[in-house]
């Protein structure tokens, strides 16, 4: 796995911190929260895209794709969080309630679970590969 530089690691950490602050602030009904969460999600996903795996281990490649899917889910959660503010996209109210209203939480939860699982398993697989 390609290691990130110190600057890239700090940007990854900053993106994760912005996502946590944005999600936490949204729970407390702060209108600025999606605009903190969205750049954090994009920054976090961009830094994870910078990591790469050039080996031939199929398990790590599969887990890497799972990690990239979770990054995409974080960005989708950011879009849904922004759409959750007063129905900004002008969707009819019944569709808004069914497909948008607070569904960012589900997308974020699925992305976080995939992220935790893939990071844990990648670390274990890289450790096995090193032995």
pLDDT (tens digit per residue) in 26-80: 989 888 999 999 999 999 999 999 988 888 888 989 999 999 999 999 999 999 8
Residues 6+ apart with CB under 8 A from 106: none
Taking CA atoms, 42 is separated from 5, 79, 82, in Å, by: 18, 11, 14
What pLDDT, on a 0 to 100 scale, did the predictor assign at position 89? 67
What pLDDT, on a 0 to 100 scale, did the predictor assign at position 87? 67
Q: 38, 82 in Cβ contact below 8 A?
A: yes
Which pLDDT tens digit goes with each residue over 8-19? 999 999 999 999
Kindly report the CA angle at 70 between 56 and 51, in degrees rounded to 5? 45
Which pLDDT tens digit goes with each residue over 72-130? 999 999 998 888 877 666 778 787 777 777 888 999 999 999 999 999 999 898 888 88
Question: pTM for the whole thing?
Answer: 0.87
What pLDDT, on a 0 to 100 scale, did the predictor assign at position 103? 84
Burial of 36-54, coded b for 16+ CB within 10 Å and e otherwise, reads: bbbebbbbbbebbeebeee
């Amino acid at each position: 796995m390609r290691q990130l530089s110190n600057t890239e690691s700090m940007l990854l950490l900053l993106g994760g911190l912005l996502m946590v602050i944005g999600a936490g602030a949204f729970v407390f009904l702060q209108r600025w929260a999606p605009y903190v969460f969205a750049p954090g999600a994009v920054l976090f996903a961009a830094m994870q895209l910078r990591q790469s795996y050039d080996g031939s281990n199929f398990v790590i490649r599969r887990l890497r794709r799972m990690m990239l899917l979770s990054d995409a889910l974080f960005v989708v959660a950011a879009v849904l969080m922004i759409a959750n503010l007063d129905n900004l996209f002008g969707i009819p109210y019944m569709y808004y309630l069914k497909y948008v209203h607070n569904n960012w939480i589900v997308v974020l939860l699925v992305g976080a679970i995939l992220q935790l699982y893939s990071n844990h398993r990648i670390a274990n697989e890289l450790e096995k590969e090193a032995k």
